[in-house]
Structure 1
């Protein structure tokens, strides 16, 4: 201890450095705190959890191989479990923007777990009776630990956050697909009136987008299931037992209940992060689906008197600080903003994923952070959108009916009966004279009233087929 009881002295290969006396971290973490006062943004909770999982599994493997004592391994596992459970999140202060390998964060984990394990064994914090390198990091390198934690965190985020939220949204859209199946409305292409559709058909399209998005995300999980652990510094596996990766991955699978395996090629797993870039691309694509759906629902609910008004949106909160009674589609707007953020994150992930140089990719911390932020935003956004907006939508059936009966696109049904040119003449006349398509067709002598009723049937026009009298 120094004279100041709030500090203790720790040392590393560069010499002595003062560390807060109540901190579990040590010298290398303290240097990183001083070196990277960049963003005041720390690594994501899921990533810290994943680091704890790696260290716990490594201790188990090394104990099984007789490389660390059972007592030390047990204490490391207990300390790592506390890290997994979030009990020491305040002990991970290192900024995201640090060394590109994530060495500072790996050493942060090593020091915290080592000091806590020493404490559990009755030794003093800082005593190194459990050593951060020789015990907690045995058989490992930051260069294989950090990408392993990246994949574990990304896989868990998809499995436990993103997929359940998207399934909720898919279910809410399916419910509206059924509820709105008999509501006929005006279709629109180029933001202009088009042939009729059923509101339920539109929601079926949205539901299918999310269904396909879930399939896309599911296909990236096997790539994230490959772990770099065992490659150590450059992928050769120097200073680790040949059986370490298999044993450690088995322990990781027991901890996570997921399916991980050793990477096919450790050189690829450490020098490139194509799997992270590919997986984030799936998140970005699904985010784009939500963006499109949110845009559509905002348009369909626009009004309430001077917009499309085909949907009645939920009254989640007052919409204006100056216009009394105004209600805005605030939840849908949050989805649009989430997509903008995820697209920005993807630019970072795409650049970082392609940024490997020789035997190591040096964008690991920012790759992990942006991926996990996107996963969290997508999951929380989809769940909120599903339950606080989509589930509360109602159809304005009267507006839908009035609009579809006045639509000039109903003239499309006249093509088989009177030909395209005559149908175009009817549509032009209806617009100029303020008539419906039925009225214009009858007035110009192309159809009788009964024939017009048979041919111009908005409900029938929502299904395949040729309408004739």
Structure 2
């Protein structure tokens, strides 16, 4: 293995001559050797996009020689296209407010640009990671801007996936509109309802999540590029700031806007807390829906058994024939992960001090993970669970008929106490409400038929009046 010698303010290190990374990356790999998650590549690629835009801007402003700028632009595009993914191995959990990640990108782009110009890796007189690739920038304006861009792109995907899930639930609402089943409160028999109504309620919850998540993009669009270290803009020019914003808009196709107060964006992370909070709300709804489906699918003979979920895989290594509700279980676990990520984002955002938050790497990792997990799990939930689930009509009818829920419809006719007494007697004797009413001649048979009709019990009205 061949090495090149690189130097920084702490000393010298031998660097594998095959790698495009430099001494700063190597130190980060040594310091944060956690054998855990590496930096999210979506964040890396948005940082590279900013490097591309900066090179284009500095070239236009004649601050960077054309050949150097063009090589940096080409190298940045290779990072964006994923051609250099293997160069980004630093742990997601790192000190320094993302400096290690920014330097990793700077070094990879610099060394690839050197190569494109015919030089040898490490010849930073030709293209320097900081003097050229990082020109007019700081980690503190590049990193949060890249995170916002990455988050917006994932939010758009998630919003679309939620819209598709909402539509799938609405289809089930219509498909099951004529199946009457037992509604339950606190897991106890309550009132009749249609199976379609339950899916309609799920659809409304997902609709709210989709809209809330879609709208939060507006507050993520402001970036602090040009604010450099603490938002004051030292080492950048006004022309650079305005040109960069226009270029980022053009390159991303997003409505990115220049912050009118970059120092705010540099030090305050509340927008990430807000975004994460909406992902948490979505997760709460997904958790509730997935647990409902698991419960209603329970059985097949010893449980409720009113819903039949698609059979995805064998469920036991010892119990033959057992099939588990694995897709709702996966969705539930993703939801719990997002909720726990929200706690981490909240705490990390609150720990910013003075003009910077040193914990943005944790915020970035948790937020991007939550967005990606939710998007992928919702797609799977729709395709492998919701679209093909069925209702067990016979079980729905059986459970409804064996219940005493129709006693509620007697209250306007007999009063709560009398209706309660009839319900208790039916439970003790094993007889139905109808049988008790007929035996004791409490109401005319025609009235009883109307009051106890399941179709009459699922509408907003007083039955029999």
Deviates more, 1:191-200 or 1:100-109: 100-109
Q: 2: distance between equivalents of 1:90 and 1:433?
A: 73
Aligned to 2:75: 79
Residue 196 (structure 1) aligned to one of 184, 192, 205: 192
Taking a change above 3 Å as real, the CA distance of residues 246 and 436 of structure 1, as seen in their structure-2 partners, is farther
Which residue matches 2:248? 252
Residue 186 of structure 1 aligns to a residue whose secondary structure is strand
Give me the TM-score of the superposition, normalised by structure 1. Answer: 0.96
**Secondary structure, aligned partner of 1:18:** strand
How many residue pairs were aligned?
Answer: 464
2:137 paired with 1:140? yes
Instruction: Report the CA distance between 1:436 and its aligned residue.
Output: 1.7
Separation in 2, partners of 1:274, 1:414: 53
Residue 449 (structure 1) shift? 2.2
Q: Helix, strand or coil for the counterpart of 1:403?
A: helix
Cα displacement string for residues 399-449 of structure 1 (whole angstroms, at most 9, x for unaligned residues): 111221222111111111222221111111111111222222222221222
Residue 252 of structure 2 corresponds to residue 265 of structure 1: no
Distance in 2, Cα, partners of 1:230 & 1:324: 64
Q: Is 2:352 the counterpart of 1:356? A: yes
Say whether the 8 Å CA contact 1:426–1:444 is kept in structure 2. Answer: no
Instruction: Point out where structure 1 has 5 or more consecutive residues left out of the alignment.
Output: none
Say which of 327, 345, 350 aligns to 1:331. Answer: 327
Counterpart CA distance in 1 for 2:247 and 2:298 is 54
Contact kept? 2:180, 2:193, Cα under 8 Å: yes
**CA deviation after TM superposition for structure 1 residue 109, in Å:** 0.6
Distance 1:333 1:56 in 2: 42
Secondary structure at the counterpart of residue 370 of structure 2: helix
1:223-234 to 2 correspondence within 5 Å? 223-234=219-230
Q: CA RMSD in A?
A: 1.3
Taking structure 2 as the reference length, the TM-score comes to: 0.97
Counterpart mapping for 1:18-417 below 5 A: 18-128=14-124, 129-160=126-157, 162-417=158-413
Question: The residue matched to 1:25 in structure 2 has which SS?
Answer: coil
Matched, 1:425 2:421: yes
Name the CA distance, whole Å, in 1 between partners of 2:388 and 2:255: 38
Please, which moves more after superposition, 8-17 or 230-239? 8-17
Using the TM superposition, give the Cα deviation of residue 347 of structure 1 relative to its aligned residue in structure 2, in angstroms. 1.2
What SS class does the counterpart of residue 11 from structure 1 fall into? strand
Secondary structure of the corresponding residue to residue 238 of structure 2: coil
Query: 1: CA distance between counterparts of 2:412 and 2:25?
Result: 77
Q: Displaced runs of 4+ in structure 1, greater than 6 A?
A: none
Deviation of 1:180 after TM superposition, in Å, equals: 0.6
Deviations 1:126-165 (A, max 9, x none): 11111111111111001111111111111111113x1222
